[in-house]
Each structure stands twice: as structure tokens, then as C-alpha cells.
Structure 1
Amino acid sequence: MVIPDPRQWVQKHADHLYTYALARLADEHLARDLVQETFLAALQKVDLFRGQSSERTWLTAILKYKVIDVYRKRSSGLQVTRVDPEPELEFFEAENGHWKEADAPKAFDLEATDPTLRKEMAAILQKCLQKLPTLWLSIFSMKHMDELPSDTICKELKITSANFWVIVHRAKLNLRACIQKEGL
């Protein structure tokens, strides 16, 4: 078993943990705070580390639960109302459900291997994520970044399954529109 070395955590894992938190919260200060809280929590429980995973995986798991706690706190202060799915009909043809020509997604034409374009895309995505309402960002991050099951997200954030799917759909529409507006 590998024994964790807390003296090396900042050097070895801070950048990874910060990137993980920032991608899910879209808030630089909160991401830094959560990384510090993660190191503190890990330091307090270092004797419980069993070596069943790598040190980085263990620290990331601690951070993941801290991020979920943030989502839970953010959503508990929000007034969750029933979301009406009807406004999305303006984007689709009534007779067949396909995209209307003017609203259809446009190809981004990005070469996945070009690091410059990937970095630019990541910056644009981060900017667009920051524009999402808090609850939408929480749901989108939990579903598409943390890959949590839908029923777990609904339970954690106290929303109905119908509201969940409408919010996911609206978040995707907003992100797509924002990304296209930003020039990709």
C-alpha cells in the first residue's frame, strides 16, 4: 500500500483538482476554496486511506462530494417551479419534430487533435457554462461531467424527473446557442 504524502499534494494534484472543480462550478474563487477544503479534509482523514485507489483518485473523490454539496446548497435556495416544455417547439417542426432550418445546429469544424482549437473551445465552453442559471449548471455538470444517474440528481436536488429533462434540454440549447454566438 502506498502511504499518502500530504507534503506533495499541492505540487502533484492542485492543478488537476482545480481544473476539475472549475469545470463543474464555473467559479474560480470557489474552485480554489474547494481544493483547499479537499486538502484539509484529506489531511484530517489521511489515516483512513486504504490504498485501494491512487492518491489523486482519492482526493478527486473527496472534491467530487464537496462539489455536490455546493450544488445541493445552491439548489436548496432556489424556488423550483414546474418547467413548461412547450417553448422548445419554436425550434422544431411541428409535423415531424426535426430542427427548423434556421435553428439547426451548425458544425463546429474543429480538429480534435489541434491543441490550440481545443484550448479555445474549452475557454468558450467555460464562458458559456458561466452564463447558465445556477440550477441548470448544477444539473448539467452532474449529468454530463460527473455522469451521475438522473434519479440520483433528481433526489439530490429535489426536482422531478420531468423538470430534470426539460432543464437538461434547455441547458444544451443555451450552450449550443452561446457556443455558436462566440464564433465556433
Structure 2
Amino acid sequence: MTKPPPPGSRLSLPEVWLEQHGDALYRYAYFRVNDAPLAEDLVQDTLLAALQAQESFAGRAKERTWLIGILKHKLIDHLRKHAREQSVDTSPGSDQDIDALFKDDNWSHWRTPPAVWDNPSAALEQQQFWAVFSDCLGALPGRQAEAFTLCEIEGLDGSEACKVLGVATSNVWVLLHRARLRLRECLEHHWFDQGKRG
């Protein structure tokens, strides 16, 4: 049996955390790691850490916000550990496919302009779009996916992301640039072009 929440706090009993917040925590973790077993492990670690830290809950945030804050720390710890295990792609041919997307005389202009996309806010609300986006994000090389997730989804700035990834700030921007290019190509192929074919 677990201890009751500290007096004055608004925590519910730990026995109901999984039922009340498990789905939200799992979705949050899964969207960031795109790996069901890992997301489950992160949620389990989060709930265990919350159980151990429940006496420090001051009630300044809602219970779910507090749990998601703990989950964010678990995600960052996982990304740090994972970042140490992988290396940055610096092979000479890794930029050749990217070079082909831009005009020869000007790297700030696309060789072929991006396809006209339908209303992005409507597309973002569709569950199918998120499934395709998740697949595209999962298809990115590890470091690119991590950089994109940290900066664009988690909202970390470049200096924070470079600490998590253990790379120089310029490398974070290169990883983000490559991730955006590959996501653009993947989404155009698997989502936005589908309407033109159908």
C-alpha cells in the first residue's frame, strides 16, 4: 500500500494515476520516441519517479502537468543516453541528395518549389496525417529525429538541444536542416501527393 498524498496537495492516490493519466502520458511519450515498448517503459519510469517524489509535490501545477514534467525529464535522459551511443553522419556523400534540391547558384532557393499544400491546420487535425507524420519522423536517421523532436516538438532552443545531443550548435542546425528536408520530401510523397493521385 502506498502512502496517501501529502497534506495540502491535490494529488490523487497513486493507485489511480495510471488509469487517470496513463493514456495521456503514453501518447506524449510515443509521439516523441515512436516506439511503443519504449514509450511504455518511459511511462512506467515516470510513475515510479512520481511515487518516490510525491512528498515534494507542492500543488503549484495540476497533477497531470506535474507527471508530464517528470516524463519530459525521463525523455531528455533517454535522448542524452541514446545520443552518446550514436555518431553524427559526416560521410562525404551525405549531402549529395540535399544539394540536388537547391539551385546551383543560390542555396536559398529550391530547384523545384514546394508543392502547394492544402490547408495545413485542417491536415494537422486529421488522425491519418499524424500517422503519416509519425512514420516520416520514424524514418529519419536517429540524430536527425532526435534534433527535430527536441527543437520542434519539445521546444528546446539550439543550445539546450546541443547539450542533450552532445554536439556543437552548428551540428544541431545541420541536423535540423536535414530533418526538415527529409520530412518535407516524405510528407509530400506520402501525404500531400496522395490527394493528387486519388
TM-score between the two structures when normalised by the length of structure 2: 0.83
**Contact 1:18–1:32 (Cα < 8 Å) also in 2:** yes
Instruction: State the match for 1:166 in structure 2.
Output: 174
1: CA distance, partners of 2:166 / 2:59: 34
Aligned equivalent of 2:79: 71
- Give, as a single letter, the amino acid of the residue that structure 2 aligns with 1:150: G
SS at match of 2:154: coil
- Are residue 109 (structure 1) and residue 114 (structure 2) matched? no
- Name the count of aligned residue pairs: 181
1:135 maps to 143
Corresponding position: 1:4 with 2:17: no
Would the aligned equivalents of 1:21 and 1:31 in 2 still touch at CA under 8 Å? yes
Q: 1:153 aligns with which of 154, 158, 161?
A: 161
Greater RCO, CA 8 A, separation 6+ = 1
Identity of aligned residues (%): 35
Shift of 1:83: 7.1
CA positional deviation for 1:156: 2.0
Tell me the CA shift for residue 114 of structure 1. 7.0
* Residue of structure 2 in register with 1:92 after alignment: 102
Question: How far does residue 46 in structure 1 lie from its aligned partner after superposition?
Answer: 0.5
Listed as ranges, the gaps of 5+ residues in structure 2 are 1-7, 193-198
CA drift at 1:111: 6.2
Given the alignment of the two structures, is residue 26 of structure 1 paired with residue 37 of structure 2, yes or no? Answer: no
SS state at 2:121 partner: coil
CA RMSD of aligned residues (A): 2.1
Kindly provide the CA deviation profile for residues 30-79 of structure 1, in whole angstroms up to 9, marking residues without a partner as x: 00111111111101111110011111111001000111111111110112
Please identify, of 6-15 and 145-154, the stretch whose mean Cα deviation from structure 2 is larger.
Answer: 6-15
Query: What residue is the counterpart of 2:196 in the other structure?
Result: none
Letter in 1 for 2:103: E
Contact 1:124 1:179 in 2 (8 A): yes
My pick for the range that moved more, 105-114 or 160-169, is 105-114
Distance 1:161 1:83 in 2: 19
Segments of structure 1 that go 5 or more residues without pairing to the other structure are: none
Match of 2:62 among 51, 54, 61: 54
Question: What TM-score does the superposition give when structure 1 sets the normalisation length?
Answer: 0.89
Q: Which runs of 4+ in 1 moved over 4 A?
A: 81-86
Q: Is the 8 A contact 1:22 1:28 kept in 2?
A: yes
Tell me which amino acid in the other structure corresponds to 1:91: L
CA shift in 2, pair 1:105/1:57, >3 Å? same
